[in-house]
Amino acid sequence: MGTNNSKINHAKRKSTDNNYQIISTEQLSAKTSDEFNTKKFKYIEGRRFHNWPDVHYDLPNDETEIDRLHLEHFLLRDVWQSNFSSPIHEQLVSGCNVLDVGCGPGAWCLDMATTYKNSKFYGLDISPIFPSEIKPKNTIFQECQILDGIPHKDQTFDFCHMRFMFPSFDENQWRTYVIKEVGRVLKPGGYLEIAEYKLCENCGPILKRLLDLRCEMMSNIGRNPNIASLLGDFMRDTDLFEDIIYEEKIIETGSWGGKLGEVAKDDIFTRMHAIKPALMNHIKCSGLGITSEDYDEMMNQCIDEFNEYKTYFVTCRWYGKKL
């Protein structure tokens, strides 16, 4: 690990008015071909996944997942009544540089870029699922494996944001590398904000079984399903941040939580579908004897539990100022 600027060296810059869009040479020559898709992606049980070697991120990156992430963005914005908690609004209005690490389809960047037109939003993701042509002028997306280094110079950004990256890195990567590397590209006085899911409370027995299976699978590949609670300590341990603050919100899930609760339930359901290919592989390897049909049946049954048990999820934000 460490800073690796080789990807950016391979890149060509294409002028789009005042902004620059960075496109790798490989992307330029093979963008529309099947070969590009075959190399970039792999397909398991009808779902499309990234194809990076040694990257253990196990959620798909296909249209269904892109739709889910867009929907989840608006769900979270409604729950929080904001897109961020850091005290950075004034700077965003005046114009500053913002980085979204693991931006996915770019929902957060696109929304923020529309509100804060004087600021520039840079999104990085291992899967090129963000918009490449039709997007606000103040957004720049780039394909990048974060563990190879963020392809930006030290002290470039006023605000760095990360959301739902808990399945992406193992505990050691979070602790020793990821937060430090994001801190490196932050300017002194800039803010780092990390948003995550924390807990599910009042789970019915079937939902609990499904979530336990997911936790077991994550632990098997070194992920800590409870990483959200530790992020503040990891930020503190870098000695890079001060004024570290924690906030949380509850997402009532199911129709007992009204319209938002319905959306949250759909999001969970789609997420359970999204992890199914990886989970079935884990189930097969662990000899647990749960079939694909059993899993579908459990998913269908747990839907009724949300209202019965008044299930809710806790989502949190950590943010701190770079020294």
Ligand X SMILES: C[S@@+](CC[C@H](N)C(=O)[O-])C[C@H]1O[C@@H](n2cnc3c(N)ncnc32)[C@H](O)[C@@H]1O
SS3 at position 91: helix
CA angle 185, 16, 106 (to 5 degrees): 55
Q: How far is the CB of 126 from ligand X (least distance, A)?
A: 4
Closer residue to ligand X in complex, CB, 79/305? 79
Nearest to 310 by CA among 230, 231, 253: 253
Report the relative pairing of strands 157-163 and 312-322 from DSSP bridges: unpaired
Chain residues in the site for ligand X (CB under 6 A): 55, 57, 59, 61, 69, 73, 102-104, 107-108, 125-127, 144-147, 163-165, 168
Q: How far is the CB of 17 from ligand X (least distance, A)?
A: 26
Q: How far is the CB of 209 from ligand X (least distance, A)?
A: 22
Q: How far is the CB of 102 from ligand X (least distance, A)?
A: 3
Output DSSP code: residue 62.
S
- The answer to whether the beta carbons of residues 220 and 282 sit under 8 Å apart is yes
Cα diameter, the chain: 58
Rg (CA), the chain: 20
Number of H helices, E strands in the chain: 13, 11
Q: How far is the CB of 287 from ligand X (least distance, A)?
A: 28
Taking CB atoms, the residue at the shortest distance from ligand X is 104
Other beta carbons less than 10 A from residue 18's beta carbon: 8
Q: How far is the CB of 49 from ligand X (least distance, A)?
A: 9
Report residue 100 CA to chain centroid gap. Answer: 9
Q: How far is the CB of 149 from ligand X (least distance, A)?
A: 10
Buried b (16+ CB within 10 A) or exposed e, 127-163: bbbbeeeebbebbbbbbbbbbbbbbbeeebbbbbbbb
Beta strands (DSSP E) in the chain are: 11-16, 19-24, 41-44, 47-50, 97-101, 120-125, 139-143, 157-163, 186-201, 241-252, 312-322
Rounded CA separation 60/49 (Å): 5
Q: How far is the CB of 76 from ligand X (least distance, A)?
A: 8
Closer residue to ligand X in complex, CB, 226/307? 226
